[in-house]
Amino acid sequence: MGGTDRTIYDVAVIGGGVVGCAVLRELARYDLKLLLLEKEADLAEGISKGNSGVIHAGFNVLAGSLKARTNVAGLGLIYPLASTLGVPHRKTGKLVVALADEDRPRLEELKAEGDRSGVPGLEIVDEAAIRRLEPLARGRWALWSPHTGIISPYELTIALAECAWQNGAQVLLEAPVEAVGYEDGTFALATPRGRFAARRVVNSAGLFSDEVARLAGTGDYRIFPYRGEYLISDRDCGLGLGMPVYPVPTKDDPGLGIHVTPTLEGNIIVGPSAEPVGDKRDLASTREAMARLKAEAARLMPELGRTSFIHSYTGLRPKLIDPRSKDKFGDFIVEESAVRPGWIDLVGIESPGLTAAPAIAEMVAAMIGAGLDLRKKPDFVPERPGRVRFAHAGDAERAERVARDADWGEMVCRCEHVTRAEVVSALRNPFGARTMDAVKRRTRCGMGRCQGGFCGPRIVEILQDEGVPVESITKRGGGSHLFFGRLKG
Amino acid sequence: MKAPERIETCDVAVIGGGPAGLAAALGARRAGAREVLLIEREKALGGILNQCIHDGFGLFLYQETISGPEYAERLIEDVAREPIKVETGAMVLDLSPDRLLRVDSRAGYRLIRAGAVVLAMGCRERTRDMVGIPGTRPAGVLTAGSAQNLVNLQNLRIGHSAVILGSGDIGLIMARRLVLEGVTVKGVFEILPWASGLERNVRQCLMDFAIPLELRSTVVEIRGRDRVESVVVARVDDAFAPVAGTERVIPCDTLLLSVGLIPENELSKRAGVELSPLTGGAVVDETLMTSVAGVFSCGNVLHIHDVADWASFEGLAAGERAARYAGGERATGASVRISAGTNVRYALPQLVTAGREGVEWSFRVARPLRDASVEVRGKSSGRVYARRKYPRLLPSELQKINVRTAVEEDIEVGCHE
């Protein structure tokens, strides 16, 4: 691929977040030539990696809106999808807790909104039920949502892309679209890795979807980035939180309030803050937000006051609402351009975009299908083999794996128990993502309590064994180089 | 299916082949254990000693100062002379309360039942988010120990100009190392009013190389999108909060963290070993046995040592006791509790068998003290079992105090100026 690619793609997707990858995988069911262009050195490098990883039921959004419709539809799609793709997930249920009686009306409002949207199973529960459902949660009343769940958003994103790739789609990393041309019903997308021609384009560029739309002349959108900071505890924190616990959202909060969420591995995530920032790349954490997160976590769950946090991360929400305006609700935009038929803009896909992604993907496929005679591929394989995690295998399986391939017997990450076999398999991903963060997201190396202190140097060795020169080893691509060559010749 | 059909056995399993674990294996042999298994997760024995290419090891064990690898080599040679079964590249993934080990290595995945176990897994470094440094997340932020591995073992240039946060010993050692490798070290910043590392390291690694050490100051922000571009440092008040107006931007491409070590007790927890919140390591009796019968602890996994020699001495003792346990010897049950009193951060062991004579306690003070008197005092009787005077005591130094007489009551180790 690159400058010599003469293919005219049927559809090009711009942006390798969860929505773009869901669209790609949905389109891969059909006999279409597909290409996904991602500007970063790996998939899920934007909004899709910096969120709570919650599968939302859909009561937090205005009934009747596209957000609500795609959320509720997505809720029905995402669990079976995750199973098909071998992506770990769990339907945990969720509690929105009211600490005082006077907050109960807000819970009733949320429930009513959810009922209107067709969110299944919502119930207002009392103190005793709260403790029974989640012993760590406290509150006078709570909204109980039995169908909420948790998933790793970047694992889902990568799995979607891998499945699409298995079914023939092309994925190109480090390929930001810098210019868009249009001639005879074909779009020309210029990237540093070459020009690509496509009859249809799906702009799923997340935070940058407004800028990409401007390049195409399809719309005058404006994205306002809202920064959300998170803290994450050791999975060994001993609390055993079973489900996400949210506070009653205040009306003026641009997010859902600072909440606590378990990960599938047993860590506890606290966050996010919600702060409008001027720069779409401003992922810096602040002393003030870190302190607020800790205080808010302890208010919601006093046990968290004594928990040590091993990591922090920050995400940006791509909001369509100007922080200075009175409006608080901006709906998802999923629309085909009137001036440039064949160009579909997906703009402002913030929370609950992770849950909504499979439903948005179906919408986009239907929009594309309306103008084309889509034929399903008879040989489409919907499954993707899940990753094998040595840490989760039983004794017999472990013994068998090591006997077959000694790389399973070489422990690289001592905190998360990741073997060399898993690291090598991650490095041989079909997209050529070979950054430290790419390994981390695919294996959990560096996500443990030592934060890569021990496995980092070992992964550096394995990267070299896999043919990556030291000067090319980066944290996440671009200029994030780890080394400046060797010390002595 | 290649299930581990049978469970292998040994008398004493030592987990970790660093200065403590190597000595523990030797200690176990000397006390008569027949089958001693030494399990090391790295490809070579020696532990962190292998990347400590500086001088200063062995003064107490060998009465001369040698480098870390040389120190390791001597212990490894001693181990090689004994019929000790050494497994490298082998990681213990699980330890049960009845001493069943799950071990993964390229040679196979196995289950091993040990008559006694010595925990000698060492420690890990505290990281950026454990101390909560705000800012961006660029490449170029790493712990001092990781940097030591990359520079000394992998010959890699990790940066051109560095700031070091924290004055732990590895940070001080790395400040000098980086200067010797042509990296500009802009300064070492320590939040406490005193250095965390040993005085000799402050002198030999910073002062001799004109590297500034700024106390009561810290890094309040990391800047740079892809790679570190600068850090913001500021002075702190008595509550360790940054003082507004004292911020200073220091351009650099690397930030090393030397902000504390944590005993690596993941396996101990799995076995149900009681841990001390003061040391981060196991609660042990005078035989270095933990709350789980037959499981002993030594070295940095028990408490953080200032020099490797003490970890080795502790390892020898733990290995001997483990061998005796494996041979059937049982203690009567330690019942006397030891607590840390005034100006003492911790004292170890935390439990002693009533009536035991000649117990030696390790302790660390909580702050620098001059003309200090350390007392081991009975909590109910007020009786002073031992008293020792020190012209100077530093938190960076591990101290020892011996009690000759039998101790019959709960005691407290305190220190007064």
**What's the whole-number average pLDDT of chain B?**
95
Task: Clarify whether residues A134 and A26 are in a common domain.
Answer: no
> What gap in Å lies between CA B326 and CA B296, rounded to an integer?
11
How many angstroms separate the CA of residue B97 from the nearest CA in chain A? 18
Q: Write down which residue in A292, A317, A342 finishes a domain.
A: A317
How many angstroms separate the CA of residue B124 from the nearest CA in chain A? 7
For residue A452, list chain B residues with Cβ-Cβ distance below 8 A.
146
How many angstroms separate the CA of residue B386 from the nearest CA in chain A? 36
* Residue A338 counted as domain residue: yes
Instruction: Please report the pLDDT score of residue B5 as a whole number.
Output: 66
Task: Clarify whether residues A156 and A298 are in a common domain.
Answer: no
Instruction: Please report the pLDDT score of residue A238 as a whole number.
Output: 79
pLDDT at A249 over 90: no
Asked whether the beta carbons of B258 and B144 are under 8 A apart, the reply is yes
Residue of A nearest to B111 (CA): A395
pLDDT at B156 over 70: yes
Look up the domain containing A311 and give its range: 225-317
* Residue A484 counted as domain residue: no
Task: Clarify whether residues A122 and A12 are in a common domain.
Answer: no
Cβ contacts below 8 Å, chain A against chain B, sum to 159
Task: Clarify whether residues A60 and A201 are in a common domain.
Answer: yes
Best probe of the A interface among B5, B123, B156, by most A CBs < 10 A, is B156
Least Cα distance to B232 among B252, B213, B212, B215 occurs for: B252
Cis before residue B349, ω within 30 degrees of 0?
yes
- Note whether B266 contacts A: Cβ–Cβ < 8 A: yes
Task: Clarify whether residues A281 and A304 are in a common domain.
Answer: yes
* Residue A217 counted as domain residue: yes
pLDDT at A179 over 90: yes
Least Cα distance to A456 among A479, A474, A469 occurs for: A474
CATH code of A304's domain = 3.30.9.10
Q: Write down which residue in A280, A301, A317 finishes a domain.
A: A317
As a whole number, mean pLDDT of residues A152-162 equals 98
As a whole number, mean pLDDT of residues B167-187 equals 97
Q: Is A392 an annotated catalytic residue?
A: no
Q: Which CATH class is domain B127-259?
A: alpha beta
Task: Clarify whether residues A338 and A380 are in a common domain.
Answer: yes
> What gap in Å lies between CA B278 and CA B260, rounded to an integer?
14
The HSE-up count of residue B230 (CA atoms within 13 Å, CB side) is 7
pLDDT at A164 over 70: yes
Contact B139 A313 (CB under 8 A): no
Type of residue numbered B369: L
pLDDT at B367 over 90: yes
Instruction: Please report the pLDDT score of residue B217 as a whole number.
Output: 98
Please state which of the ranges A134-148, A298-312, B318-332 shows the lowest mean pLDDT: A298-312
Task: Clarify whether residues A274 and A362 are in a common domain.
Answer: no
Q: What is the pTM of this model?
A: 0.95
Pairing relationship of beta strands A186-191 and A179-183 according to DSSP bridges: antiparallel
Strand partners, A245: A95, A260
Best probe of the B interface among A231, A416, A481, A487, by most B CBs < 10 A, is A487
How many angstroms separate the CA of residue B369 from the nearest CA in chain A? 30
A280-291: pLDDT as tens digits: 999 999 999 999
Q: Which CATH class is domain B336-416?
A: mainly beta
How much is the ipTM here? 0.94
> What gap in Å lies between CA A350 and CA B90, rounded to an integer?
45
Q: Confirm or reject CATH 3.40.50.1860 for domain B8-124+262-326, answering yes or no.
A: no
* Residue A241 counted as domain residue: yes
> What gap in Å lies between CA A153 and CA B156, rounded to an integer?
34
What single DSSP character describes residue B283?
Answer: -
Q: What percent of chain A has pLDDT over 90?
A: 89
Instruction: Please report the pLDDT score of residue B101 as a whole number.
Output: 98
Instruction: Please report the pLDDT score of residue A328 as a whole number.
Output: 80
For residue B139, list chain A residues with Cβ-Cβ distance below 8 A.
474-476, 480-482
Contact B106 A406 (CB under 8 A): yes
User: What band does B77 get if pLDDT is binned at 50, 70 and 90?
Assistant: very high
Is B8-124+262-326's fold the same as B127-259's?
Answer: yes
DSSP letters for B170-212: HHHHHHHHHHHTT-EEEEEE-SSSS-SS-HHHIIIIIGGGT--
Number of domains, chain A: 4
Residue of A nearest to B258 (CA): A453
Task: Clarify whether residues A82 and A183 are in a common domain.
Answer: yes
As a whole number, mean pLDDT of residues B42-62 equals 96
User: What band does A143 get if pLDDT is binned at 50, 70 and 90?
Assistant: very high
* Residue A481 counted as domain residue: no
User: What band does B347 get if pLDDT is binned at 50, 70 and 90?
Assistant: very high
Please state which of the ranges A147-161, A362-376, B9-23, B145-159 shows the lowest mean pLDDT: A362-376
Which 7-46 residues of chain B touch chain A by CB within 8 A?
41
**What's the whole-number average pLDDT of chain A?**
94
- Note whether B263 contacts A: Cβ–Cβ < 8 A: no
Instruction: Please report the pLDDT score of residue B332 as a whole number.
Output: 76
pLDDT at B2 over 60: no
> What gap in Å lies between CA A85 and CA A26, rounded to an integer?
13
pLDDT at A403 over 80: yes
Contact A475 B138 (CB under 8 A): yes
Q: Write down which residue in A317, A346, A368 finishes a domain.
A: A317
Residue of A nearest to B125 (CA): A450
Task: Kindly provide the b/e burial profile for residues B109-137, where b requires at least 16 CB atoms within 10 angstroms of the residue's own CB.
Answer: bbbbebbbbbbbbbbbbbbbbbeebbbbb
Domain ranges of chain B: 8-124+262-326, 127-259, 336-416
> What gap in Å lies between CA A485 and CA A474, rounded to an integer?
12
